[in-house]
């Protein structure tokens, strides 16, 4: 990993958004995720390598949270820094494709506010020619149902980051399949595994955005 990319990773872990940000105090007046990402891209670092370093940083801050070394405010600052990086990376994932493959209705399930992974899935799918209808976070079943009604033949994606919201994922799938048995449903998110596909009655699992793209593309062939 280059020094610049490593610095970005540290900014994510420490929640250093940009130079003007006073947080964290020991990094005051130093460049943050914003400036460093721009520099890294200008110097030819790939979007994929920056993203990988940021994902590693989110893992590290998550582990610290598990060990009670940091708390929710620190997670929020890390998320804010990560979103700043993603704003810079977005064009790299979205360049040059025609939106023609189909519609993908995507949301983080009810009770769950985590959206960084979902937003990545959205970006990468859009970059691969899918029209994404992003319903946001804390998406109740009815909202998924309305979106399916408004977008016949769409594929649906559900994301969950909490073990406590996985039952909500299962409940949404059950209702969607009851009302629209032919709707294809893909699930993902850190605590979700391939074995949940059968248990929840979904059609597929994707561990990352590219797997979601591969699966969706296979449905257009």
Distances in Å between the Cα of 181 and the Cα atoms of 175, 178, 203, 216 are: 9, 6, 11, 18
Cα–Cα distance, 71 to 169 (Å, whole number): 26
Look at residue 204 and give its three-state secondary structure: strand
By CB under 6 A, name the one of 6, 39, 52, 62 that touches ligand B1M. 62
DSSP 197-208: HHHHT-SEE-SS
CB of 28 to ligand B1M, least distance (A): 23
Establish if 4 lies at the interface with ligand B1M (CB under 6 A).
Answer: no
Site residues (CB under 6 A) for ligand B1M, limited to 73-112: 75-76, 78-79, 111-112
Binders of ligand B1M in range 144-203 (CB under 6 A): 157-159, 161-164, 186-191
Return the residue nearest ligand B1M (CB atom): 117
Tokens of 183: 């709707």
Does 59 sit near ligand B1M (CB under 6 A)? yes
Is 58 one of the binding residues for ligand B1M (CB under 6 A)?
yes
Is residue 72 within the footprint of ligand B1M (CB under 6 A)?
A: yes
Q: How far apart are CA 187 and CA 207, in angstroms?
A: 9
- Going across the sheet that includes 102-108, the strands are 130-134, 102-108, 155-159, 185-188, 204-205
Which residues contribute to the site for ligand B1M (CB under 6 A)?
55, 58-59, 61-62, 65-66, 72, 75-76, 78-79, 111-118, 120-121, 157-159, 161-164, 186-191, 206, 208-209, 212
């Amino acid at each position: 990993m280059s020094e610049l990319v490593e610095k970005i990773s540290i900014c994510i872990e420490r929640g250093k958004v940009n130079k003007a940000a006073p947080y964290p105090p020991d990094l005051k007046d130093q460049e943050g995720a914003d400036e460093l990402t721009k520099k890294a891209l200008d110097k030819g670092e790939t979007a994929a390598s920056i993203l990988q370093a940021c994902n590693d940083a989110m893992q590290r801050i998550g582990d610290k949270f598990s060990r009670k070394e940091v708390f929710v405010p620190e997670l929020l600052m890390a998320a804010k820094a990560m979103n700043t990086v993603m704003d810079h990376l977005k064009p790299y994932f979205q360049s040059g494709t025609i939106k023609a493959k189909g519609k993908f209705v995507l949301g983080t399930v009810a009770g769950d506010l985590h959206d960084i992974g979902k937003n990545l899935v959205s970006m990468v799918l859009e970059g691969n020619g899918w029209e994404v209808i992003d319903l946001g976070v804390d998406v109740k079943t009815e909202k998924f149902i309305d979106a399916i009604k408004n977008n016949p033949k769409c594929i649906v994606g559900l994301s969950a980051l909490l073990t406590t919201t996985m039952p909500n994922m299962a409940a949404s799938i059950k209702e969607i399949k009851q009302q629209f048995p032919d709707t294809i449903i893909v699930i993902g998110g850190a605590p979700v595994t391939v074995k949940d596909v059968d248990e929840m009655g979904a059609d597929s699992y994707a561990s990352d955005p590219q797997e979601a793209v591969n699966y969706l593309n296979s449905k257009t062939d």
